[in-house]
A and B are shown apart, each in its own frame.
Chain A
Amino acid sequence: MNFLRICFSFKGRINRAAWWLLNLPIFVIFAVSISIFDSHTQITVGTIPLLILVWIHLAVSAKRWHDKDTPTFWILLHFVPLIITIFLFASPLFAGSWILFPLVFLVVLINVLWIIYELGFVKGTEGSNQFGPDSETSSESVIDVYISLCGISSIIFVFGIFFFVFKEGAGFLFSGLNIWEFLTSEEWYPTSLNNKRYGTFALILGTFSVTALAMLIAVPFGLGAAIFVSEFCSPKLRETFKIVIEFLAAIPSVVWGFIGLTLMNQMIIKVFNAPIGLTMLNGGIMLALMSVPIIVSIAEDALKAVPDSYREAAEALGATRWQVIYRVLLPAAKNGLLAAVLLGAARSIGETMAVLMATGHSVNIPLGPLDWIRTLTATIAAELGEVARGDEHYQVLFIIGILLFTITFIVNLIADLVIKGIRQS
Chain B
Amino acid sequence: MDSNTDISPELMFTETDIGRRNRFVENVFKIFFFIMTCLMILPLLLIIGYLFYKALPVLSLDFLFTNPKDNMRAGGLWAPFLGTIYLVVVSLLVAAPIGVFSAVYLNEYARENWFTRIVNLAVVNLAGVPSIVHALFGVGAFVLFAGLGESILAASLTLAIMTLPVIIASTTEALKAVPMSFREACWNLGATRWQTIRRIVLPNSISGILTGVILQVSRAAGETAPIMFTGAVFYKAIAEGNVFAYNITDQCMALSLHLYTISTQVPDVTEGIPYGTAIVLVGSVLLVNAAAIVLRVYLRTRKRW
Contact = CB atoms under 8 A, between A and B. Distances in A.
Interface of A: 32, 35-37, 39-40, 42, 45-46, 137, 140, 143-144, 146-148, 150-155, 157-158, 160-161, 164-165, 167-168, 220-222, 224-225, 227-229, 232, 241, 243-248, 250-255, 257-259, 261-263, 289, 292, 296, 320-322, 325, 343, 346-347, 349-353, 357, 377, 380-381, 384-385, 389, 397-398, 401, 404-405, 408-409, 411-413, 415-416, 420
A261 B263 contact: yes
A222 B39 CA distance: 10
Contacts of B122: 154-155, 157-158
Contact of B124 (A164, A168, A377, A412): A412
Interface stretch (B3-11, B67-75, B132-140): B132-140
Contact of A36 (B43, B147, B289): B147
B128 A350 contact: yes
A20 to B, nearest CB: 14
B163 to A, nearest CB: 12
A385 B282 contact: no
Given A352-B130, A398-B140, A140 B222 contact: no
Interface stretch (B102-110, B182-190, B237-245): B102-110
A42 B147 contact: yes
Contacts of A381: 132, 135, 225, 228
Nearest to B39: A221
A351 B130 contact: yes
Nearest to A42: B147
A250 B286 contact: yes
B22 A320 contact: yes
A385 to B, nearest CB: 6
A191 B218 CA distance: 38
A147 B104 contact: yes
Given A352-B225, A398-B136, A401-B133, A232 B33 contact: yes
Interface in B105-158: 105-106, 109-110, 117-137, 139-141, 144-145, 147-149, 151, 153
Contacts of A146: 101
Given A140-B192, A144-B194, A252-B256, A321 B44 contact: no
Contacts of B127: 412
B37 A45 contact: no
Nearest to A293: B40
A247 B289 contact: yes
Contacts of A152: 105, 119
Contacts of B102: 150-151, 153-154
Nearest to B225: A352
A144 B105 CA distance: 9
A411 B248 CA distance: 36
Nearest to B259: A254
A293 B256 CA distance: 21
Given A380-B132, A389-B144, 11 more contacts: A35-B249, A157-B161, A241-B37, A320-B26, A321-B30, A357-B263, A377-B130, A384-B135, A384-B136, A384-B139, A408-B129
Contact of A405 (B23, B30, B129): B129
B259 A258 contact: yes
B29 interface: yes
